Amino acid sequence: MSTKLKRQRRVGIIGTGYYLPPRKLTNADLEKLVKTTDEWITTRTGIKERRIADDDVAVSDLAVEAAERALKKAKLKAEDVELLIVATITPDMLFPSTACMVQAKLGLTKAACFDISAACSGFIYAIATAEKFIKAGAYKNAVVVGGEKLSCITDWKDRSTCILFGDGAGACVLGPVRSGGILSTHLGSDGKSAGLLELPAGGSRMPASKETVKNRLHYLKMSGSELFKIAVRVMAGAANKAIEMAGLKCSQIDCIIPHQANIRILNAVAKKIGLGPDKVYLNIERYGNMSSASTAVALAEAVERRRIKKGDIVVLDAFGAGLTWGAIVIKW
């Protein structure tokens, strides 16, 4: 394939799917675990309930369910998949990759597989990566999954964080399209602020020990107020940059699907971009923050509910630990 043809190759999302564990954890349930109230949680976060996976369910199990549904929508057989990327910060184990476990369960015998760790921005990073592979002609198609079991790294004694997180997985299939498709991608990061959101223990810097367990260092730690200010600025900036790269104006956007972090953050981002509430897809009330799965599930759900239609201009926008952020503009 010539260089000119590679540049002209269009890559789009040809199938989406999602899966959520059946168990619901409501704010009323949390009132029995920590000192909090439904009103306090709802006012500050916009969350009413979240989904929690059973103890014997791993991220690969959630990912398989979502990927199967996306493949069905794309009308693509398992044996035809050439690339699989799983975005997660809660892998089944440190190695092998969760992607390899998903590959085995789905029977993706021809697929190259790997994980991406970019926290809440993971799904955006994974789509951007897969798109480049397909555009370059390395692969014909790709399955991208954002899956998390945040309940297993949530400190259920910490009322400032345990109210936020839930479990789930979303997936999409990327492939060549005749028109539209992904118009632009923009990624960014700031490692100097990594300490604002982290899982301190369990890696090579702080291996598991009696002390790390005693000090509850195997649960995520977050500096919420500092992150709030940064999130609004960089999410709005990422979306505006991607829209500009696509040669569009904010007024041309039909739907933005942001990472479902906090309703106050999302409202502030929409206002900063200049988009009305009717153009912002939200499901945070029902699912909470699912890290890399949030944008993935919201996208698939928006498609299922016909909130996104053929020809619409859609923006995916996320911010997460790292710090990382990214936005993608798609003509559906």
Active-site annotation holds for 162: no
> Which residues 6+ apart lie within 8 Å of 104 measured at CB?
none
Q: Where does residue 311 fall: left (phi above 0), alpha (psi -120 to 50 degrees), or beta otherwise? A: left
**Residue of 100, 120, 172, 255 marked active site:** 120
Active-site annotation holds for 259: yes
CB 326 within 8 A of CB 186: yes
Active-site annotation holds for 152: no
C-alpha–C-alpha distance, residues 322 and 198, integer Å? 8
Residue 262 Cα distances to 27, 98, 254, 268, angstroms = 15, 28, 22, 10
* 180 class by beta-carbon count within 10 Å (0-12 exposed, 13-18 middle, 19+ buried): middle
Largest CA distance in the chain: 63
DSSP bridge partners of 325: 188, 319
**Residue of 27, 240, 262, 289 marked active site:** 289
CB 318 within 8 A of CB 328: no
C-alpha–C-alpha distance, residues 276 and 285, integer Å? 18
* 317 class by beta-carbon count within 10 Å (0-12 exposed, 13-18 middle, 19+ buried): buried
**Residue of 113, 186, 255, 259 marked active site:** 259
Which 3-state string (H, E, C) describes 198-236?
ECCCCCCCCCCCHHHHHCCCCCCEECHHHHHHHHHHHHH
Q: Which residues are catalytic?
A: 120, 259, 289
